[in-house]
Homo-oligomer: A and B are copies of this chain.
Amino acid sequence: MWDADTVTTPPPGLRERKKQATREALRRAALRLAVERGPDQVRVEDIAEAAGVSPRTYNNYFASREQAIVSAVTADREARIAAAVAARPAGVRLTDAVTEAVVEQYTDTGERAHEALLLITTRTALRDAFLDTTADIEPPLTAVIAERLGDAGAHTARVLAASVAAAVRIALEGWLRPTGNAGTAGRSGAGELVLPSGSLPDRLRAALAPLAPAFDAAEQRTRP
């Protein structure tokens, strides 16, 4: 039996590789077509054809048309965030490890991805699909946080990971929406311009900051 050191390294297997190749082909086809013709002029049938599979197969891989386009940008961000957290030395505060890992993985999105982001912002359906990908970081984050907290804090880890995902989503929402803040606060009355239009890293840090006390408390409970 192979070494079970890392989580995601079973024997590659020819079958699985073809599967990932197909997935990647769909990603690329979806993004390329969306850029070429505009997002609304791309049907699932077109993407499938460009990737060389049947339309039916397409949504064995993606649940919606938008997911394929967006996944070309998000790729395997979840795994990278989890790895980035695990890579931090065990001495640093868990809060800082998570925050820095998130900021790091959301800012270096690459030059090409930034081009695609402009495309995404133009269509609300794509924006929503993009925002939904923040939920994907939850399981890997749960795993690495649980590792630091020990088995006693298993479901604490789950809650913290979900909270991080929620905070990231909020940061992204605000970032993607320079104008038009609809129905958020109840009756805050006067000022609504809490953050004029900060950069993405700033927004991420600001959104994660309120969770720091919860992380600290959870972390200290494991080392009295």
Residues of A that sit less than 8 Å from B by CB:
7, 139-140, 142-144, 146-147, 151, 154-160, 162-163, 165-167, 169-170, 174, 183-191, 194-195, 206-214, 216-218
Contact = CB atoms under 8 A, between A and B. Distances in A.
Contact of A186 (B144, B210, B211): B144
A211 B166 CA distance: 13
A170 B159 CA distance: 7
Given A167-B163, A217-B213, A188 B155 contact: no
Contacts of A159: 163, 166-167, 170, 207-208, 210-211
Contacts of A218: 210
Contacts of A155: 170, 174, 194-195, 206-207
A212 to B, nearest CB: 8
A211 B162 CA distance: 11
B151 A189 contact: yes
A166 B170 CA distance: 13
Given A159-B167, A213-B217, A186 B151 contact: no
- A-B pairs with the 5 shortest C-beta distances? A143-B186, A162-B166, A163-B163, A213-B217, A213-B213
Point out which of A154, A184, A188, A210 has the most chain B C-beta atoms below 10 A from its C-beta: A210
A155 to B, nearest CB: 6
Nearest to A169: B162
A187 B143 contact: yes
A151 B190 contact: yes
A188 B155 CA distance: 11
Contact of A158 (B184, B190, B209, B211): B184
B146 A185 contact: yes
Given A151-B188, A211-B214, 8 more contacts: A143-B185, A146-B188, A147-B187, A154-B185, A155-B194, A156-B209, A159-B211, A210-B214
23 contacts: A7-B187, A139-B183, A142-B184, A143-B185, A143-B187, A146-B186, A146-B188, A147-B187, A151-B189, A151-B190, A154-B185, A155-B174, A155-B194, A155-B195, A159-B166, A159-B167, A159-B207, A159-B210, A162-B170, A163-B166, A210-B217, A213-B213, A214-B214
